[in-house]
Amino acid sequence: MRQFAISRALANNDHHRANYVDFDRVCASDLRRYLWGLSGTYQEISGAHNEVSGLPDVLSSEVAHLSDDKISISISIDADQLRRASECLGLTGNDPKDQLDGCAKLAQFTLSEFLEWTAGGRRYTSLSDMYMNWVEAIYELGRLDDHPSVDHLYNNLNIPYGLAAYICRVLADKNVAKWRQQDWIDLRRYITNAKQQCEQFTHDQEPLTDKKFSANLGRGAVRQLRTVSDRLRKSNPDFLIPEVKRGFGETDVVSVACLAVQPLLDYIDNNRLGLA
């Protein structure tokens, strides 16, 4: 698998430049031969050649740089392209360097995807297959730790709503083990927050009999909560089942009684669920 590394990130007014490295030895060798064929043109620009690699000195300029078997190439983008790439990867509001790094990774994926297509190494059977591969790549390259969501695909990637729903459903089935683990992590975080709130009630000397903790919870985690609650109810008929109200987007509003928090947390911990 090719290795990727950021070599430099620069900003100049509303234009940004991100450098990336992702060429293995074969690619580097091919590029050496190609650039050597253009050496006459580069000689006019640089006036000399690199004594070590045999490549024109221009490779040490702002355009490209060769180091061992890797080649770093600079690309220039405008502020709007950087904004759109950041939205796509879930990096909006992050440190500018993170946004530039993310944009460079996206550029490298785009190049690799195109080269694989031209080499006949990757052929999609349908547009849906292609979109699903792209969406998976976006979630791997960015900081999108949640399930692929219809809202994100529709609002940030401009994928038609019906197609976005289909892609999310297929990817959820494909990566069911990964997302189930994330659901447990989200549920454990929710129950831990509930415990802290209920402990505050106790500290304030308020009776816990009618106290509840309410917060939004992703629908995958809600499914796991229902599973745990059903099991606890079977073993203890007095267990208080959490209340779930349909929310907006990808989350529901969940209310759990303070008296039910500790049994839920014990079950999750005893079964070692929700551990990152």
Annotate 178-199 with three-state secondary structure.
HHHHHHHHHHHHHHHHHHHHHH
Q: Could you report the per-residue pLDDT of 176-219, keeping only the tens digit for each?
A: 777 788 888 889 999 999 999 999 888 877 777 888 999 999 88
Collapsing DSSP states into helix, strand and coil, what is residue 74? strand
Confidence of residue 264 (pLDDT cuts 50, 70, 90): very high
Identify the band that residue 69 occupies on the pLDDT scale cut at 50, 70 and 90: low
* Tens digits of residue pLDDT in 220-245: 889 999 999 999 999 999 999 999 98
What is the mean predicted confidence (pLDDT) over 258-267? 92
Of 22 and 158, which is predicted with more confidence? 158
- In the predicted model, is pLDDT for residue 276 greater than 60? no
User: With 50 as the cut, is the pLDDT of residue 48 above it?
Assistant: no
CA distances (Å), origin 22, targets 33, 71, 106, 111, 238: 18, 7, 12, 10, 59
Q: Are 56 and 46 in contact (CB under 8 A)?
A: yes
- Compute the average pLDDT of residues 165-178: 83
Rounded to two decimals, what is the model's pTM? Answer: 0.55
pLDDT tens for each residue of 99-133: 888 888 888 888 888 888 888 888 888 888 888 88
Could you give phi then psi for residue 114, rounded to 5 degrees? -65, -45
- Tell me what pLDDT residue 196 has: 92
Which percentage of the chain shows pLDDT scores above 70? 71
